[in-house]
Structures are given as structure tokens and as C-alpha cells.
Chains A and B, each alone.
Chain A
């Protein structure tokens, strides 16, 4: 017997967001994924890098610097892994998922990514003394994703509501 007073079983996720959020985050993730793939290729094939190599903008100086690896793992690999996961988390299916952890993971990954981006900006500006334009493009995409997700994720997860409401 089914309890008639139980909460109705619905297919719609309680975490659903506006369509523009799904579209925007997916497009940004795909853009970040493309840039990350390019930067990963050029880490291993530096001569494939098409970029200014003089003055402040110097991709090769950045992508071949000592800071381009952490514990022997290329930073580009971290970026690629981040955007593979981020793209998966920003598909319409993931956005409509009913599992809360998916939405928490998406927001958490965006925050962690932005923190990592700030470290990379520190490395470029202070340590290396050069900026990579493709890296900067990835940083801007990450920042844009953070802006969109901070706009919707706290409310989606119920963090933007007061206990009284």
C-alpha cells in the first residue's frame, strides 16, 4: 500500500535552474576544455604554440617555466582534468540531476579552480614575469563560471536562504 499522504514522487529535480544557466555554463566549460586541450598539447610540443614571445606576453616562457609543473605533473594536465569534470558537471543532465552532491561538487570545483587560477596569476606576474594569453583566457573562463555559479548555486543549494524563511 502506498501512503496517500506521502510527498508526491516527482521527476523534476528540486535543484533545477534557469535554462540560461545550463547553456552558459556548458558553453563556458566547453571553451575552457578546448583551451586546456590546446595548452596540454603545447606543453609537450612547445613549438606548436602560436603566441607572442616577446615582452610581457610570452606564452612559451610561461608554459615551459619551472612553475608549469607541480610535483612533476604539468599544470596543463590539471587544467584539462578540471575542465573535463567541469564540462560533465555542466551538462543539462547534470544540472537536472537529483543528487545533491553533483551540485555541491560543481560549485566546490568552481571555487577551487578559481583559487588555483589566483596562484597561477601570482606565478605569472610575480615569479615568471610574463603572461600567457591562452592561460589568461582559461582564467577568464574560470572567473566567468564562478560568477554564474555564485549567482545560482548558493540559492540552488539552499545556502542563500535564512533559516527563518
Chain B
């Protein structure tokens, strides 16, 4: 019995910590592991450097929008909006299409308030997205503030090559009226295999669900089943939809980014007319979501003309 009780007691002197005894030194495994990791990482760096830094056919560098262009885009004079209205003699401009009977898409803004959500899905290579961004940025700048916009051009080998535009890839948007979420799915250059554009931002589950459901002939008039899922796709809180550019990218052909931006204060410019007409349509759509707030924007004559043309008033 005495032996039994002694066996259950913790020994007074604990066992010494494990050390390698005999055979391979304990450090051998460590050196092997470190060596393998270092070799693999070094090989990756060498491959990267040897391939000229990038195996892609284009540039992946991000260039922020210039201060002058940001100002031109976000502070278009009210007189230009009101003078243009929805008049665009050179380029045909289409409005967002209303959707009936769908639950409003909402999100919580930075202040913790539930507001309508606008979702943009596009790609940097896409010339139609290139045209659309100009008007969308101008329209949304009437409700909030963009930061992180970058310069971009559509793919050089596609239709309407090198259409000057901007990218939302690093953009953030702050507004007390709405939340704006963006997804640039692809870059404007081909991937290493040269088979398609390099991937950029993967759509969230919510974005994928929206494009699957709404970017279809059922909700977009004039869209064929083969065009389902086309970009740019903009969902204004499930109440208005844009699929494809609101005006042709050819409108911007031959103009530089700086020239287009600078002309936004000139209501007589055909390029400005196309951009501003589309911006007024989008603004009218957003105003119907924000209950006509801010009033200074939503009751302006240019927006009211657009709302009337869309049958909203």
C-alpha cells in the first residue's frame, strides 16, 4: 500500500526538459527547414527579378488622379449641370433603368446610419466602364467625396483602345446620403499566360449575387441573354440599374484625360454634354433614393429635367 501511495505522488525532482540525445543534433532539423525556406523564397525573388519585375503585358503601377482633374470632376459648376440637362446632340445618352418590386439595397454609412447602397462592378480594361466612370464620379461627387481615384486607360488592344478614365481600385467614397461600393474585376493588361486580363478584385458574394440576378434581360431592357453579366454594371439600391456604358466610348476618342476634365466647366463641349447628361440621369436616380436630399442638388433644374425624362416626376 505504501508503494502505491508513493507511486501517485509527483516526483520531487521533475524530469529534465527534452534534449536531443545522440544521433542527429537537434539543430539539424532547424537548419534544414531554414535552408529550404530561404532557397524557395530566394528562387521566387530571382524568378521575379529575372522576368523583368513583371510577367504581365502591361503596367500594374497605380497613378493617383491629379489634383486638377479631381477638382474638375468633383466641382463641376451648377450652371453646367443645369445648362446641359439631358441634352447631348452628339452622343446618345441612356438613363439608368428603373426596377420595380425589389427590396431596397441598403448599407450602413460611416456615421452608423442605414442608407441606400450603390454598387459598381467593372474592369480597368473595359472601354465602356471607362466612359461610364466619368459620369458616375461626377454624379456621386454631388452626394459625397472621393479619395484614392487613380488614372486609368482601357486596354490598348480592345475596341475604343486606351479610352482615358479613372480606376476605383483604391478609391473610397464617403457620403452621409449613400454608400458606394466598387469592384474592378480585372486590370487593363493581360495575365502572364496572355489568355485574359489579369485578375484584380474578386467580387464579394453580395456583388456576385447582384450581377447574377439583375444584370439579365429580365431586368435590363435591350439586354440579350448572351449579354447577361455585362459590365459596367451599376445597381442603385436595387431601384435603378445600368448595364453597359450610358454613352459610347467613342465620344471620348481622341481626347486626353486632362482635356476631358478641363472641358467639364464648358457646357458647350460635346464630350461634356454626354458626361453631364449621364451624370444628371444618375443624380436624378440617386435623388429618388435619398428622398431628394441634398435639396440643392435634387431640386436643381438639370436634375429635375433628368427626373422628368425618366418619368420620376
Which of A17, A118, A126 touches B37 (beta carbons < 8 Å)? A118
How far, in whole Å, are A125 and B55 apart by their CA atoms in the complex?
A: 11
Chain B residues within an 8 Å CB radius of A91: none
Contact string, A1-26, partner B, CB cutoff 8 A, digits 1/0?
A: 01010001111101111110100000
Interface check A68, CB cutoff 8 A: yes
| Stretch among B11-19, B259-267, B286-294 lining the A interface | B11-19
The reply to whether B18 and A155 form a contact with Cβ atoms under 8 Å apart is: yes
The reply to whether B201 and A129 form a contact with Cβ atoms under 8 Å apart is: no
Which of B3, B33, B60 touches A147 (beta carbons < 8 Å)? B33
Are A162 and B26 also in contact (CB < 8 A) when A60-B170, A150-B33 are? no
How far, in whole Å, are A140 and B130 apart by their CA atoms in the complex?
A: 40
The reply to whether B33 and A155 form a contact with Cβ atoms under 8 Å apart is: no
Separation in Å of the B197 CB from the closest CB of chain A?
A: 11
Chain A residues within an 8 Å CB radius of B34: 147
Contact string, B150-169, partner A, CB cutoff 8 A, digits 1/0?
A: 00000000000000000001
How far, in whole Å, are A163 and B21 apart by their CA atoms in the complex?
A: 11
The reply to whether B48 and A64 form a contact with Cβ atoms under 8 Å apart is: no
Which of A16, A53, A154, A155 touches B14 (beta carbons < 8 Å)? A16
The reply to whether B41 and A121 form a contact with Cβ atoms under 8 Å apart is: yes
Are A65 and B56 also in contact (CB < 8 A) when A2-B7, A17-B18, A155-B19 are? no
Separation in Å of the B21 CB from the closest CB of chain A?
A: 6
- Size bin of chain A's contact surface: 35 or more
Q: Which residue of B lies closest to A153 (CB)?
A: B29
- The main secondary structure of chain B at its interface with chain A is loop
The reply to whether A66 and B22 form a contact with Cβ atoms under 8 Å apart is: no
The reply to whether B41 and A16 form a contact with Cβ atoms under 8 Å apart is: no
Chain A residues within an 8 Å CB radius of B61: 55
Contact string, B18-36, partner A, CB cutoff 8 A, digits 1/0?
A: 1111111111111011100
Chain A residues within an 8 Å CB radius of B26: 151-152, 154-155, 160
The reply to whether B18 and A66 form a contact with Cβ atoms under 8 Å apart is: no
Interface check B194, CB cutoff 8 A: no
- Size bin of chain B's contact surface: 35 or more
The reply to whether A160 and B15 form a contact with Cβ atoms under 8 Å apart is: no
Which of B17, B48, B148 touches A126 (beta carbons < 8 Å)? B48
The reply to whether A143 and B37 form a contact with Cβ atoms under 8 Å apart is: yes
Chain B residues within an 8 Å CB radius of A58: 62
Chain B residues within an 8 Å CB radius of A155: 18-21, 26
The reply to whether B20 and A154 form a contact with Cβ atoms under 8 Å apart is: yes
Chain A residues within an 8 Å CB radius of B28: 160
The reply to whether A118 and B41 form a contact with Cβ atoms under 8 Å apart is: yes
Interface check B224, CB cutoff 8 A: no
Interface check B309, CB cutoff 8 A: no
Contact string, B53-70, partner A, CB cutoff 8 A, digits 1/0?
A: 111100011100000000
Interface check B8, CB cutoff 8 A: yes
Q: Which residues of A contact B (CB under 8 A)?
A: 2, 4, 8-12, 14-19, 21, 47, 53-55, 58, 60-61, 64-66, 68-69, 111, 114, 118, 121-122, 125-127, 129-130, 143, 146-147, 150-156, 159-165
Q: List 15 A-B contacts (CB under 8 A).
A: A2-B7, A4-B3, A14-B15, A54-B62, A65-B200, A114-B33, A121-B40, A125-B48, A143-B37, A150-B30, A151-B27, A160-B21, A160-B24, A160-B25, A161-B24
Given A55-B61, A65-B200, A69-B202, 7 new contacts (CB under 8 A): A16-B17, A155-B18, A155-B20, A161-B23, A162-B22, A162-B24, A164-B22
Pairs of residues from A and B, 8 with the lowest C-beta to C-beta distance, nearest first: A162-B23, A165-B22, A66-B199, A155-B20, A150-B29, A18-B17, A160-B20, A150-B30
